[in-house]
Structure 1
Amino acid sequence: MRILFCLFILLCTPIIANAQERVLDIQEVVSASGIKAWLIEDESLPIISLEFSFKGAGSINESLDQQGVSKLLSNMLDEGAGDLDSQAFQKALSDHSISLSFSGSRDHFGGQVKTLSRHKDKAFNLLSMALSSPRFDSEPLERMKKSNISRIKSSLTDPDWIAARLQNDLIYKGHPYAQNSGGTISTLELISADDLRAYKDKYLTRNRLIVSAAGDIDAKELALILDQIFQSIPENELSHKEVPFKPQTGTYLYSKDIPQTIIEISYPAFDRNDPDYYAAQVFNYIFGGGGFGSRLMEEVREKQGLTYGIYSGFSFLDQAQNLSISTSTQNDKVDDVLKIINQEIEKIQNTPVGGDELQNAKDYLIGSVPLTLTSTDKISGTALGMLSNARPIDYLDTYGDKIGAITSEDIQRVARRILIKENQTIVFVGQPQSAIKTNAITEIPNVQ
């Protein structure tokens, strides 16, 4: 009941570093074999959520001719293991109400299991089997290939997806991030079970592993379970490759006969360890990340009626960070939208944010933290995110004070650091009636 009580208090009062109750009462657990995990114990509900990630095991490792191998691996690990084929494995999950999933990102590869306490032995055994002895049988492999290829072909009709794909290629030009983490039509067709097994053995290793758990489990039991699940996973030599690259700045057009033009604007940013990280969160909420409360939404949608929506947001990858602005508008209104965006950039760079607007943004960011901790799996996911981003164990306890200390001068400094016109990359998808000179793009890379 302790976590639920803490959440009640958090929903009613600001987060403060000196609170008697920590936001999350995190324990560090170490198994007999040395596997570490963060645990948030809560016996109020008979539910356990365990999440894990293999740092640096994401699609950044894929070669051009194996794009999508980590995506297929995430699809296949729960499609049969040990003496259970795909159907039997899925039935075992269903019969015991166990949720088991795997996913990959550009940087990392991970998974989650969520189970009722009474089925924990079965759940953890199935997870152990999936990681140690996946089958990679031909029938589910072909099924997953077809599903992913179908997804790609369907995406080619979506102008928003096309714009994001093109933006990704331009801002990460020359870096593995520019590749398609979901695979291409040709590479997916050629990936074999041996390729999946080789990728798993090379990158899903114990020395990359981070783990979090939450719910109805104590430290002693978790220590035993960590070894049960992960001890058999090998340790391989870590390889870390920093790849230099230079974003392609300028304005680009992919012509498509649609009534509206999709607009993607991107600027290089800084990483989570930068002293301006917290100021950047407040800046983004005010500028374009705060939904209907943001300046961009107010000016472009509410006052001018030029779009259904306009948003800004940060992307923090291990080797690249960006701020993006995304919107769409009628083809003959593109220049009007860009003019307002530029006006708002100039305003936030040169005019101090007013006291009420600044305080409202800080109050929202501080007050939204408890809403990310309303279920067992959200709690374990938050803890894993902290581990993945190398945050200290008291990160949430100090978050409110750090956000609360942000000033209008901090907002201006961040805006000036990031929103530099010479560094911007703009992508149009559509048929914009614009006076802006564009570079034509005729093919979508890393798709076929």
Structure 2
Amino acid sequence: MTRTFYRAAVLALGTLLVLGRWGGAEAIEIQRVVSPGGIEAWLVEDHKNPIITLSASFKGGAAADPDGKEGLADMVAALLDEGAGPYDSEAFRRQLEHRVISLGFNAGRDGFGARLQTLTEHSETAFELLRLAMTEPRFDPEPVERIRAQIVSSLKRSATRPQTIASRTWWRAAFPDHPYGRPDGGTADSIARISTADLKAFAGRVLTRDQMEIGVVGDIDPERLGLLLDRTFGPLPDTPAPTPPEAAELSAAGETFVVEQAVPQSVVVFGHRGIPRDDPDRFAAAILMEIMAGGFGSRLTEEIREKRGLTYGIYAYSLPLDGAQMVMGGVSTRNDKVAETIRLVRELWAEMAENGPTEQEMRDAKTYINGSFPMQLTSSAPIAGMLVSLQRNNRPLDYLEDRPERIDSVTMEDLRRVAKRLFHADELTFVVVGQPKDLKATAPVPEPRS
């Protein structure tokens, strides 16, 4: 199925979904569960299949890494399921594999996540293994050095990739004195500096009950979930979560940086400040981003790919972080077409800011957003993640029920007003990795932070 056909199908299906909303009996019903010990989780019961899925989020990701030990959060995430409590790495993995339990951890810039999926019949063991991983991680020498070597090898491979270079350069230029400006996955040197004590300290500092969000989907009722919550998360310390990074203003607004690399195609990363996730205009911003960059049919794709053939793909998206809000994007194109591509991106930004979208664009975007959103929630893992996201963003329990109406209520006047807030052509910062022709850098490439 092509993306063009897929988008058309979603627009058609979206009309039905907007009329029927969440489909009656298939509507997602969210319950707020508070355990006897006071631990909260949001639950979507689903007893059609004997599966339970959990997602949990903690404050403190890569931005909480100590200076000089960037990549610590990622390394902890990779090691928590490599042995805990009485089980060494091999024994722990056997416990998971024999019961077909999926357990893993991940680190973002601002948060640290856990995910668990298990058959109902093995849920007692699964939740116990999760508890052990969070409260009694072993960090034994063998898995620590094995994971360290894997991370360093991956970092060395990616260090020469144009996309990695462009992304890291953009963040370094935009946030020269802020944790966001550091490589969130670390470097070979910073990973080498991380000790077992660092790993233990990070886990103890981040895996706490303070500012924790939990989402659960599947074959479990509120009473049993409450007992498992206390048993699994109750032993975590109730100490304060790491302090979020300070709010940061983006530097280098409007600058163009060029990193010379002998490649046939240049890689371009661009971005500027955006609209916060809790801003009253966030629904209008979502519609505008769909119109500008929502794949085939969007302005970026139509003007830069379809009409001019300058690239196979171009993208842009909103990225709200705790310490900053951005609109980010990227494209790859021939070296002799980079200058034209960048000029067109700026022109499209300026045109949207000045005139806003058309009525047809607004109608199509609303239908697509409302129609495609339920299609993203067709399995337990994305629903569990969505439950966590709703809590993290302080959304109400009935948010999903009200969301289509909020999208529909956005007016053309709203979109024109918000377009001026969202799109700033003169503030777009570009980083180009390649040998672009007829494009001059306006600022020197910032040196990597030590």
Which residue, out of 258, 270, 275, partners 1:270?
Answer: 275
- Structure 1 counterpart of 2:279, one-letter code: D
- Structure 1 counterpart of 2:435, one-letter code: Q
Is 1:298–2:328 an aligned residue pair? no
Q: Which moved more, 1:121-130 or 1:237-246?
A: 237-246
Which residue, out of 410, 415, 419, partners 1:411?
Answer: 415
Query: What are the Cα deviations for residues 2-47 of structure 1, in whole angstroms up to 9, with x where unaligned?
Result: xxxxxxx999421777986684211111111110111100100110
Query: What are the Cα deviations for residues 211-240 of structure 1, in whole angstroms up to 9, with x where unaligned?
Result: 111100000000000011011111113452
Is 1:157–2:147 an aligned residue pair? no
- Structure 2 counterpart of 1:230, one-letter code: F
Tell me the CA shift for residue 117 of structure 1. Answer: 0.8
CA distance in 1 between partners of 2:15 and 2:310 (Å)? 36
Partner of 2:84: helix, strand, or coil?
A: coil
- Structure 1 counterpart of 2:335, one-letter code: N
- Structure 2 counterpart of 1:79, one-letter code: E
Is 1:326–2:330 an aligned residue pair? yes
Query: Structure 1: where are the runs of 5+ without partners?
Result: 1-8
- Structure 2 counterpart of 1:150, one-letter code: S
Is 1:170–2:173 an aligned residue pair? yes
2:6 paired residue number = none
Partner of 1:271: helix, strand, or coil?
A: coil
Change beyond 3 A, Cα 1:179–1:302: same
1:148 paired residue number = 151
Is 1:206–2:209 an aligned residue pair? yes
Which residue, out of 341, 345, 357, partners 1:341?
Answer: 345
Contact 2:370 2:407 in 1 (8 A): yes
Query: What are the Cα deviations for residues 381-403 of structure 1, in whole angstroms up to 9, with x where unaligned?
Result: 11111112211111111111111
Contact 2:208 2:236 in 1 (8 A): yes
CA distance in 1 between partners of 2:395 and 2:348 (Å)? 33
CA distance in 2 between partners of 1:305 and 1:412 (Å)? 29
| Correspondences of 1:67-216 after superposition (within 5 Å) | 67-216=70-219
2:67 paired residue number = 64
Scaled by the length of structure 2, the TM-score of the pair is 0.92
Change beyond 3 A, Cα 1:278–1:391: same
CA distance in 2 between partners of 1:17 and 1:393 (Å)? 16
Query: What are the Cα deviations for residues 363-386 of structure 1, in whole angstroms up to 9, with x where unaligned?
Result: 110011111211112211111111
Tell me the CA shift for residue 259 of structure 1. Answer: 1.0
1:358 paired residue number = 362
Query: What are the Cα deviations for residues 47-78 of structure 1, in whole angstroms up to 9, with x where unaligned?
Result: 00011111x22121112122111111101100
Contact 1:17 1:401 in 2 (8 A): no
Contact 1:173 1:248 in 2 (8 A): no
CA distance in 1 between partners of 2:303 and 2:242 (Å)? 47
Query: Structure 2: where are the runs of 5+ without partners?
Result: 1-12
Tell me the CA shift for residue 337 of structure 1. Answer: 1.2
2:397 paired residue number = 393
Number of positions where the alignment pairs a residue of Structure 1 with one of Structure 2: 436
1:251 paired residue number = 256
Tell me the CA shift for residue 435 of structure 1. Answer: 4.2
Which residue, out of 194, 218, 235, partners 2:238?
Answer: 235
Partner of 1:322: helix, strand, or coil?
A: strand
Partner of 2:42: helix, strand, or coil?
A: strand
Query: What are the Cα deviations for residues 321-344 of structure 1, in whole angstroms up to 9, with x where unaligned?
Result: 111221121111122112222232
- Structure 2 counterpart of 1:85, one-letter code: D
Q: Which moved more, 1:330-339 or 1:222-231?
A: 330-339
